[in-house]
Structure formats: structure tokens, C-alpha cells
């Protein structure tokens, strides 16, 4: 028994020692943790802080893109992301559910507001084990109006997460210049962050300026994530992106977009593009193209990713003759009244032809050659200057070089000038390729008295904090290829292209303003070699400036492969150039040309007087006499004697003998009525404006009571009509000539401009 008691004491002592050791170890461990604050090498304080420390992202705002007047072109705006709560535990009151209770009904309703199939929505709403689901890009970037409509449906479990999106308030508006942005996902720990990144145009090129830097907020929370009282917040403010101001003028850009829309709708061209530039500074006031896309939806983007105005190089056609002419004037090789033989020009064993099939217009002056867009005239001027001299001018005008406009992927074109034939064809705009921006830059030298200005589209970049410009661009002269005198003479000759009887640019006349410029028609390369054939397979263009005496604007417009319905290729181009130039000049308050006040003249009674004397007297007073009759004595007149008329008006004179019909083309209806009343004609007409056609041929005898049928047209319609008739006759003459010639073309035939020039 004593032995058992001893064993029990021994066992108790051992247990005591063991528990004492355990207590000592635990106490020592506790004391160590208490003193050091560490366990297993981890700082318990930091672990606790990490567990209850919350970090949220404070999103930065992307920089805004403005026009030169501060109108918004692209900006960040509030948007919403659609989400659905699926976890039933979120509902505490069955009468007011906080989760999706009816996936089928919810899917049916949501399908009306987001671009997602009902079945796909329903599939997401039935996802097992998910607390919350979203709906991809279809459920993001929702506007406030869409949010309110969905909220009005009172769908349980449907919530909205506040977000921001890039907004382009003008829609299709210089889209290839501005570009667009896209939200890219980035996983950071358990969070999925969305970053807006520029994908094209200025949005991409100036990403480093536009992109902001996100901030963050850190705070200590309780177990449920609520901010603990008396705990400090740590805030790192976001750094917003910088703002960009363009040289673009929203009003002028709108004029251009509207014109391009009309041409695209009516002619469905392969390409159409245009630029409006300040002639004195090189500022790009507007630039646009078709096809284009909507930067918000990206609709249409797949048709063309390129900014054609800087990335697309093409043969310019006769617009290049502007610079050949300027070089020839500078070198003293152009004499407007000097004669040359038009039609063909031999280059070795080959020949180039004028655009009417090489028929030409006989022996004409060089001035008329420019007006008619004669290739042979340019070939002769090149010969007079010397090919080496003109090659230097090509460099001086910066062809074959990038303009440096600071836009991505700018092309520099290619000067083909190795052989005599290439040198000649370059002089009239074939073979060598250019960009639209190069043509505009070179044209500023003509418009700006010899000083060539670099085109630029970024006015300034402004720091978001200081509101001060950190980048600023301004007018920059990049060369002076010709003198002031040469520029003035060139503009005078180019003005005659739009005003002269034989000018190919008559259709580009603008009422109240004188336009100087040059038409262009160039064949398009065939991917399989050679050139495309057919009346539609050309790039039709016009490079013009106005007012001609002191240009303020340079406008280049081009239309490639329009679907023409019997019209000349210049017609769709004029529907871009004319309204854009006219509206822009008026918007900029550039005064139209003032016409001198006409002197008032009181008419005498010319009855029984000699016709030739009366005609001479009226012409001396700057009054236009219209003779109706084959006699030599005046019988009656309209207006009557003692009437007061202004210089430039018409006086109708009826003579003895047979009464004959005058040519009433371009007459006003008022003048027609004066003549009809005088000789007793009955007038019937359609349309409005000025006389375009008449049923009684000029010079034909007429009788009292005979019916005169007229077709009236407005001035612009009449110009189009005249141009089409002129080109139709040229085409008929060319067809007749080709039928009589041998069925063999010149080796350079496909490099010539078609009769539509």
C-alpha cells in the first residue's frame, strides 16, 4: 500500500513537472509575442491592419478634347454598369426581395434595354453559387436615361454600379482624326479594374497626356467593412489627364461632315475626303472622310481604319499642275499669251496626250492651256524649265516628304522621276503619288504669298492642375519655294480656271467670292497591274483657295470611284467644295466681293432710228442691246422711252423685217417677259432661276402668239448643267474620232486624264 502511495506521488510529481514546463513554455511564448509583437516571423500588428484595412480605387478622369473655341469633342461622362444580385441571403424581408426572384421575367425585360439575347441573360441569372453577376460589355456604359427606364421596371435584385465612359457628343465627327477609346480589364488581386485606353487617332497618339493616374483611399473598418470611428483615412488623390485643344472649328467641321454625308448618300463613292485649312497659318480647321465610323459604337470602323488624309497616297492628277505652273512662272518659262500646239507631246518613241483623246484644241495660248487642263502645256513648260530644275521645286514644295503634322502613320508619297516619261507625267500629276495633306501644305505657298506653312491640328495641351499650356503649337513656316510676285500671278491664272469660257473649274464658282484653283482627275491603280478602267474608276478632285486675291482658306476635296449617273466627275466634288467653302467664308465673316454700283440711265425713244447707231449708243452706256429682227431700223423697244434702267441691264429692240428669236440662255425671267411682251409670245416655264434651255432656236423666225417654253435653273444647277453638256459633247467628239482612228492606243494612254476633266 505504501508502494502504491509512493507511485501516486511520483506520478503526480511527473505531471506537475510536465504541466509546469508547458505553462512555462506558453508563458514564455506569450511574453515573447507580447514584447516582440511577432509570431512565426509575422508582425501581428500588420496582420491585423491588413485584415481590417480597406483600399478603394479613386478613378482619375481622362483628359477632354476640345475644338479651338473650347467646344467639347470627347470627354469622360458618368455611365452605369448593370449587375444582378443572386444570393437569397441578401433578402431579409420577403415582401421586398433584394435578389433576383424570377430569372425568366427579369431576362425578358432586360433584353429590351441591353444588346444581349434573352436566353443569354437568363443563363447568367441562373448561375449557381454566384453572389452577383454582370452582363459583359453589353451591360456597361449605360446612360442615365437607360438606367432610369430599367429602374422603372422595378426588377428585384437589379442594381447599377456607377462608372465613367468616353463620350463623343458630335457622333461621326472627324472620327479618324479623333479616334476612340476602349476599356481594358486588368486583374489586381481579387479586384478586376477597367482602364480606358486610346485605340486610334489623337486618343491613341496622345495617350500619355490624356491618360490620368488613379488615386486610392485606405481606411480601417470593422468586421463588416464599415469605417471605424476616430480612425484616420489615407487618401491619395487621382491625377486627371491633361486637356487637348485642337485647331478644328466645330462649325466648319459640321459643314464638311454634312457635305460628305450628302455625297456618300447620293454617289456611294469608294472614298471621299476633304480638308479645310487656314491659308495664312496652316491650321487645320476641318478634315473628314468617308467611309467613317461612330466613335461611341464603332459602327462602320471595319470598312476603313486609316486616316486617308495623311495615310493614303495617290496620284493627284491635274491638281499637281498648280505647282508646275508656279515653278514655270518663277523660272520665267510661262508666258500666258505665247502659243503652242496642243494635242500630243512626243517623249522619245512614246507620246502623252491631252485629256480629250489627244485631239487637243489646235494652236492655243498657254493661258488657255492651263484653263483647259492641257497635259501638253505642262510638258512644254517642263521642257522650258528643264527636268532638273522642276525636280528641285518638287523638293521645295515638300513632295515626297512627310508634313510633320504629328499624326500617326503619315505617308510621304513617292516621286517617280527617273526617266523622261516619268518626268513629264509627274508635271501633270500622274505616276508620282502624294497625300491630301501634302497638297494642302504646298497650296499654302500659293495662297500665302510664297510662304509655305506646316499644317497642324494640335493647338495646345493644358495641364489639368495648373490650367497652363504644357505643349503649344503655332504657325510654322517650312519653306518659301516661290516669291510673292509668283504666288500672285499663279493665283490670277488659277482664278481664270473657274471663270474663263474654257475653264475646267467653272462648276466651282461661288457667288460673291472669287475662287482660284485647279481640277484633278487621276486614274486608280489596278492591284493586278496597270490602271482600272471605266468612267467611275477615277479620283476626281479640286484644290482651291478663296478669296482669290487674298486667300483666307484652302480647301481640298476628292471623291474616288463615285457611282455617276451621267454626271461629270466634278459634280460630286463640287457638292463638297462649294458649300464648305461658301459656308466657311460666311461663318468667318469674310466679306464677299463688292460690285461697283451701277449707273442709272434714262432711255430715249429709239423708234425709227438706225439699228447700228442705237446699238452703239447703248453699248457706250454699258447697256446690253438685244435685237429681235432682221431689219436695219428700230420699230419698238422694251423698256419704253423715258424708263430708267441700270448699267448692265438688257434693252430689247424690235426691228422691221422678220422678227427672230434671241438666245435667251442665262436670261432672268424678268428679261424674258420684256421680250415676250414686245413681240407677243406666250411664255410657259418650269423651274426657277435663269434660262437653261428654250424650245425656239436662236435666230429662228417667230410669230405673234407663238408659245415659248423655257426651262429655268438656279445658278449652281445651271453651272452643273453647262458642265455636263460640255463634257457630253467632248465625249461624243472623242468617240467619233476614235472610230476613225486605228484601234491602237499610245503606250501612255492610260496615264491621261479622261474627258470628264
pLDDT value of residue 228: 46
Residue 84's DSSP bridge partners are: 133, 158
Residue 315: exposed, middle, or buried by beta-carbon count in 10 A (0-12, 13-18, 19+)? Answer: buried
pLDDT value of residue 746: 42
Antiparallel, parallel or unpaired: β 477-479 and 600-602: unpaired
The helix or strand, by DSSP H or E, that contains position 713, with its residue range, turns out to be strand 707-713
pLDDT value of residue 94: 85
CA distance 139 to 145: 14
Question: Bigger pLDDT: 420 or 690?
Answer: 420
Fill in the DSSP letter of residue 64: P
Which of 112-116, 578-582, 750-754 holds the top average pLDDT? 578-582
CA distance 415 to 400: 6
Arithmetic mean of pLDDT, 260-266 = 96
pLDDT tens digits, 634-680: 989 999 888 888 888 899 999 998 899 999 988 888 889 888 888 88
Q: Is the pLDDT of residue 39 over 60?
A: no
Please state whether 79 falls in left (phi above 0), alpha (psi between -120 and 50) or beta: beta
Question: Bigger pLDDT: 712 or 416?
Answer: 416
Question: Bigger pLDDT: 517 or 34?
Answer: 517
Q: Is the pLDDT of residue 111 over 80?
A: yes
pLDDT value of residue 63: 93
Residue 613 contacts by C-beta under 8 Å, 6 or more apart in sequence?
none
Q: Is the pLDDT of residue 571 over 70?
A: yes
Q: Is the pLDDT of residue 756 over 50?
A: no
CA distance 49 to 52: 5
Least Cα distance to 443 among 315, 320, 288, 582 occurs for 320
CA distance 175 to 291: 10
Least Cα distance to 439 among 357, 318, 341, 529 occurs for 318
CA distance 695 to 301: 51
pLDDT value of residue 755: 43
Question: Bigger pLDDT: 739 or 176?
Answer: 176
Considering Cα of 110, then 115, then 121, then 124, what sign does the dihedral take?
negative
Arithmetic mean of pLDDT, 355-361 = 91
Question: Kindly report the CA angle at 293 between 561 and 60, in degrees rounded to 5?
Answer: 155
C-alpha cell at 272: 471621299
Q: Is the pLDDT of residue 225 over 50?
A: no
First to last CA, the chain: 135
pTM equals 0.75
Q: Is the pLDDT of residue 222 over 50?
A: no
C-beta atoms surrounding 124 within 10 Å: 20
Contact status, residue 179 vs residue 199, Cβ threshold 8 Å: yes
CA distance 675 to 670: 9
pLDDT value of residue 598: 66
For 624, list phi and psi in degrees, rounded to 5: -90, 110
Chain centre to alpha carbon of residue 661: 49
Question: Bigger pLDDT: 216 or 630?
Answer: 630
Of 22-36, 330-344, 473-487, 565-579, minimum mean pLDDT range: 22-36
Q: Is the pLDDT of residue 192 over 60?
A: no
Q: Is the pLDDT of residue 80 over 90?
A: no
Alpha helices in 428-558 (DSSP H): 436-447, 484-499
Residue 611's DSSP bridge partners are: none
Contact status, residue 197 vs residue 182, Cβ threshold 8 Å: yes
pLDDT tens digits, 591-643: 887 656 667 888 889 998 999 999 999 988 888 999 998 899 998 999 988 88
CA distance 677 to 674: 5
Contact status, residue 624 vs residue 668, Cβ threshold 8 Å: no
Arithmetic mean of pLDDT, 8-30 = 73
Distances (CA, A) of 87 to 95, 101, 102, 188, 732: 16, 10, 13, 25, 80
CA distance 726 to 729: 5
pLDDT value of residue 754: 46
Percent of the chain at pLDDT > 90 equals 53
Q: Average per-residue pLDDT in the chain?
A: 86
Arithmetic mean of pLDDT, 354-367 = 93
For 428, list phi and psi in degrees, rounded to 5: -115, 15
Least Cα distance to 62 among 209, 193, 178, 211 occurs for 211
pLDDT value of residue 19: 74
Contact status, residue 564 vs residue 540, Cβ threshold 8 Å: no
Q: Is the pLDDT of residue 95 over 70?
A: yes
Arithmetic mean of pLDDT, 94-106 = 89
pLDDT tens digits, 435-455: 999 999 999 999 999 999 999
For 695, list phi and psi in degrees, rounded to 5: -85, -25
C-beta atoms surrounding 644 within 10 Å: 9
Question: Bigger pLDDT: 475 or 14?
Answer: 475
- For the chain, the farthest-separated pair of C-alpha atoms sits apart, in whole angstroms, at 176
Q: Is the pLDDT of residue 226 over 50?
A: no
pLDDT value of residue 542: 98
Arithmetic mean of pLDDT, 368-374 = 96
Contact status, residue 288 vs residue 276, Cβ threshold 8 Å: no
The helix or strand, by DSSP H or E, that contains position 195, with its residue range, turns out to be strand 191-198
Distances (CA, A) of 658 to 180, 337, 624, 635: 74, 42, 21, 12
Alpha-carbon dihedral angle through residues 139, 145, 150, 154, given to the nearest 10 degrees: 140
Considering Cα of 401, then 548, then 571, then 533, what sign does the dihedral take?
negative
Active site residues: 318
Q: Is the pLDDT of residue 266 over 60?
A: yes
Contact status, residue 637 vs residue 651, Cβ threshold 8 Å: yes
pLDDT value of residue 56: 59
Find where cell 491630301 sits.
436
Burial 440-453 (b: 16+ CB within 10 A, else e): bbbbbbbbbbbbbb
pLDDT value of residue 235: 67
pLDDT tens digits, 689-745: 788 889 999 989 998 889 999 988 876 566 666 666 666 666 666 656 655 554 444
Contacts 24+ apart (CB under 8 A), 692-699: 692/665, 692/717, 692/718, 692/721, 693/665, 694/661, 694/664, 694/665, 696/661, 697/661, 698/661, 698/662, 698/663, 698/664, 699/660, 699/661
Per DSSP, the three-state class of 297 is: coil
pLDDT confidence bin for 189, thresholds 50/70/90: low
pLDDT value of residue 382: 97
pLDDT tens digits, 489-536: 999 999 999 999 889 999 999 989 999 999 999 989 888 888 888 888
Of 175-189, 330-344, 525-539, minimum mean pLDDT range: 175-189
pLDDT tens digits, 242-262: 999 999 999 999 999 999 999
Per DSSP, the three-state class of 644 is: strand
CA distance 366 to 335: 7
pLDDT value of residue 234: 65
CA distance 451 to 449: 6
Contact status, residue 725 vs residue 733, Cβ threshold 8 Å: no
Contact status, residue 299 vs residue 292, Cβ threshold 8 Å: no
Of 251-260, 263-272, 299-308, 370-379, minimum mean pLDDT range: 299-308
Amino acid at each position: 500500500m505504501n508502494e502504491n502511495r509512493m507511485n501516486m506521488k511520483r506520478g503526480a510529481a511527473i505531471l506537475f513537472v510536465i504541466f509546469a514546463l508547458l505553462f512555462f513554455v506558453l508563458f514564455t511564448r506569450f511574453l515573447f509575442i507580447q514584447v516582440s509583437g511577432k509570431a512565426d516571423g509575422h508582425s501581428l500588428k500588420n496582420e491585423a491592419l491588413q485584415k481590417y484595412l480597406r483600399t478603394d480605387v479613386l478613378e482619375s478622369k481622362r483628359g477632354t478634347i476640345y475644338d479651338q473655341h473650347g467646344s467639347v469633342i470627347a470627354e469622360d461622362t458618368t455611365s452605369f454598369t448593370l449587375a444582378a444580385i443572386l444570393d437569397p441571403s441578401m433578402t431579409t424581408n420577403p415582401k421586398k426581395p433584394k435578389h433576383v426572384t424570377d430569372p425568366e421575367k427579369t431576362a425578358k425585360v432586360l433584353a429590351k434595354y441591353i444588346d444581349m439575347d434573352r436566353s443569354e441573360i437568363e443563363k447568367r441569372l441562373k448561375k449557381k453559387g454566384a453572389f452577383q453577376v454582370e452582363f459583359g460589355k453589353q451591360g456597361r456604359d449605360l446612360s442615365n436615361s437607360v438606367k432610369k427606364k430599367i429602374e422603372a421596371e422595378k426588377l428585384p435584385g437589379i442594381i447599377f454600379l456607377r462608372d465613367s465612359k468616353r463620350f463623343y457628343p458630335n457622333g461621326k465627327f472627324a472620327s479618324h482624326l479623333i479616334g476612340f477609346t476602349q476599356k481594358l480589364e486588368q486583374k489586381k488581386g481579387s479586384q478586376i479594374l477597367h482602364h480606358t485606353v486610346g485605340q486610334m487617332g489623337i486618343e491613341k497618339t496622345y495617350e500619355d497626356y490624356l491618360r490620368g493616374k488613379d488615386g486610392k483611399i485606405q481606411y480601417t473598418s470593422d468586421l463588416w467593412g464599415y469605417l471605424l470611428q476616430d480612425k484616420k483615412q489615407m487618401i491619395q488623390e487621382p491625377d486627371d489627364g491633361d486637356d487637348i485643344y485642337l485647331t478644328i472649328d466645330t462649325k466648319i467641321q459640321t459643314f464638311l461632315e454634312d457635305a460628305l454625308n450628302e455625297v456618300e448618300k447620293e454617289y456611294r463613292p469608294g472614298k471621299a475626303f476633304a480638308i479645310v485649312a487656314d491659308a495664312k497659318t496652316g491650321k487645320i480647321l476641318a478634315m473628314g472622310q468617308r467611309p467613317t465610323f461612330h466613335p461611341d459604337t464603332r459602327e462602320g470602323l471595319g470598312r476603313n481604319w486609316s486616316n486617308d488624309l495623311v495615310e493614303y497616297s495617290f496620284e493627284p492628277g491635274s491638281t499637281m499642275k498648280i505647282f508646275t505652273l508656279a515653278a514655270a512662272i518663277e523660272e520665267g518659262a510661262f508666258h500666258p499669251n505665247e502659243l503652242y500646239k496642243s494635242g500630243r507631246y512626243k517623249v522619245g518613241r512614246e507620246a502623252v496626250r491631252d485629256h480629250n483623246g489627244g485631239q487637243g484644241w489646235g494652236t492655243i495660248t498657254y493661258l488657255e492651256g492651263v484653263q483647259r487642263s492641257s497635259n501638253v502645256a505642262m510638258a512644254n513648260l517642263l521642257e522650258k524649265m528643264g527636268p532638273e530644275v522642276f525636280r528641285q521645286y518638287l523638293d521645295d514644295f515638300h513632295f515626297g516628304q512627310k508634313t510633320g503634322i504629328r499624326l500617326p502613320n503619315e505617308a510621304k508619297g513617292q516621286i517617280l522621276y527617273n526617266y523622261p516619261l516619268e518626268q513629264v507625267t509627274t508635271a501633270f500629276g500622274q505616276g508620282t503619288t502624294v497625300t491630301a495633306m501634302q497638297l494642302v501644305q504646298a497650296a499654302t505657298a500659293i495662297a500665302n504669298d510664297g510662304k509655305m506653312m506646316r499644317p497642324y491640328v494640335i493647338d495646345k495641351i493644358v495641364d489639368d492642375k495648373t490650367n497652363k499650356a504644357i505643349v503649344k503649337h503655332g504657325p510654322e513656316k517650312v519653306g518659301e519655294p516661290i516669291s510673292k510676285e509668283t504666288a500672285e500671278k499663279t493665283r490670277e491664272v488659277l482664278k481664270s480656271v473657274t471663270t474663263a469660257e474654257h475653264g475646267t473649274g467653272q462648276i466651282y464658282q461661288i457667288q460673291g467670292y472669287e475662287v482660284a484653283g485647279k481640277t484633278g482627275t487621276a486614274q486608280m491603280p489596278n492591284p493586278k497591274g496597270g490602271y482600272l478602267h471605266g468612267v467611275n474608276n477615277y479620283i476626281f478632285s479640286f484644290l482651291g483657295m478663296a478669296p482669290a486675291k487674298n486667300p483666307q482658306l484652302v480647301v481640298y476635296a476628292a471623291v474616288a470611284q463615285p457611282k455617276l449617273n451621267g454626271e461629270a466627275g466634278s459634280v460630286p466634288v463640287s457638292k463638297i467644295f462649294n458649300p464648305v467653302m461658301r459656308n466657311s467664308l460666311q461663318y468667318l465673316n469674310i466679306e464677299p466681293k463688292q460690285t461697283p454700283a451701277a449707273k442709272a440711265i434714262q432711255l430715249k425713244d429709239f423708234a425709227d432710228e438706225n439699228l447700228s447707231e442705237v446699238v452703239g449708243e447703248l453699248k457706250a452706256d454699258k447697256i446690253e442691246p438685244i435685237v429681235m429682227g432682221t431689219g436695219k431700223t428700230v420699230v419698238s423697244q422694251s423698256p419704253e422711252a423715258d424708263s430708267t434702267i441700270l448699267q448692265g441691264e438688257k434693252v430689247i429692240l424690235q426691228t422691221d423685217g422678220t422678227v427672230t428669236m434671241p438666245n435667251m440662255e442665262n436670261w432672268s425671267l424678268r428679261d424674258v417677259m420684256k421680250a415676250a411682251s414686245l413681240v407677243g409670245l406666250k411664255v410657259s416655264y418650269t423651274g426657277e432661276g435663269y434660262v437653261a434651255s428654250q424650245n425656239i432656236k436662236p435666230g429662228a423666225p417667230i410669230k405673234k402668239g407663238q408659245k415659248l417654253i423655257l426651262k429655268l435653273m438656279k445658278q449652281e444647277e445651271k453651272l452643273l448643267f453647262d458642265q455636263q453638256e460640255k463634257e457630253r459633247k467632248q465625249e461624243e467628239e472623242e468617240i467619233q474620232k476614235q472610230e476613225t482612228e486605228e484601234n491602237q492606243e499610245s503606250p501612255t494612254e492610260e496615264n491621261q486624264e479622261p474627258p470628264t476633266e
